[in-house]
Structure 1
Amino acid sequence: MEFNLLKDKFTEEQAKFINPLVLALIGDGVYEVFIRTYLVEQNRESNVQKIHLKAVSYVKAEAQSTYMKQIVDELTEEELGVFKRARNTKSNAPKNADVANYRWATGFEALIGYLYILNRMDRLNYILNKIVEVGDNNEGKS
């Protein structure tokens, strides 16, 4: 059985017109699943609470903002455009979040969502693996 939910569902032209906050919504889910899967694979003997706490350290807005700042220079012009469009979209940051970090995180999530809906799995995997690398390096410094 093959899972082709996204195969040929969105053209590049269609994806460019999706609301950036909708792309961020998709990206948030994709990123969360990736991080949880990565952490379970790395911590097979850990309990759920420990894995959850590690996941939160990767998915909170401050962390996403930090990761995005680390990889922004590696983005293509197209990817940078998606990121900036989402980062600059008016949205309400949660009360406990820094607005600048929240906007960078929104841009990051929109980029992930964009790559996902276009089925650009090689590029998506490259970026997500860079994030894990940066996150693991940052964790070692604390």
Structure 2
Amino acid sequence: MEENIITLTGFSDLFKESLHLKVVDIKSYSPLALAYMGDAVYEVIIRTKVMNHGSTQVNNMHKKSAKLVNAGTQADIIRRLLEEEDLTPEEIAVYKRGRNAKSVTTAKHATMADYRTATGFEALCGYLYLNGELERLIAVVSKGLERIGELE
């Protein structure tokens, strides 16, 4: 039986080809557009991690995911990454653009400071994803989860 192994690069290429995605200058996206994508990408990463613990009730998986996919946790992750100097200067610049972006949305269950900080983190996730830096995206999220004690 032949195994079909797709690398991260292969996945990215397959994704672009199958969906007929055109090349877009990543710098043309607003920080809030990057955060929009980053929010979704980060949630998929977290859901994948949660499901990897084995089959359990969906409600339990949702509770664990919700704990990690909220403004407070995301703000904590990016603050720890910044403290430990785990990000490149370019990544810090993307984060700051996202953090400083003026959004019409307000935080429901977080302080405005945490909400804006989390938006910066999501912008960074979106930037790395859209730039095709999937390995770096996974490394940043993994390191962040490790820093807050959520990587078993």
- TM-score, with structure 1 as normaliser: 0.85
- In terms of fraction of residues, the more helix-rich structure is 1
Map residues 53-92 of structure 1 onto 2, 5 A cutoff. Answer: 53-72=63-82, 73-91=85-103, 92=105
Compared with structure 1, are the counterparts of its residues 139 and 31 closer, same or farther at alpha carbon in structure 2 (3 Å cutoff)? closer
Alignment length (residue pairs): 136
Contact 1:68 1:105 in 2 (8 A): yes
| Structure 2: segments with no counterpart, 5+ residues | 5-9
| 2: CA distance, partners of 1:37 / 1:112 | 16
Aligned to 1:116: 129
Superposed CA RMSD: 2.2
Assess, with a 3 A threshold, how the Cα gap between structure 1 residues 10 and 58 changes in structure 2: closer, same or farther.
Answer: farther
Larger Rg: 2
Aligned identity (percent) is: 39
2:7 alignment partner in structure 1:
none
Is structure 2 residue 41 aligned with structure 1 residue 30?
yes
Equivalence for 2:113: 100
Greater relative contact order (Cα < 8 A, sep 6+): 1
Call closer, same or farther: CA 1:124–1:86 in 2, change over 3 Å: same
Give 1:61 shift: 0.2
Contact (CA 8 Å) 2:81, 2:147: kept in 1 or not?
A: no
Q: What is the rounded CA distance, in whole Å, between the counterparts of 1:34 and 1:89 in structure 2?
A: 24
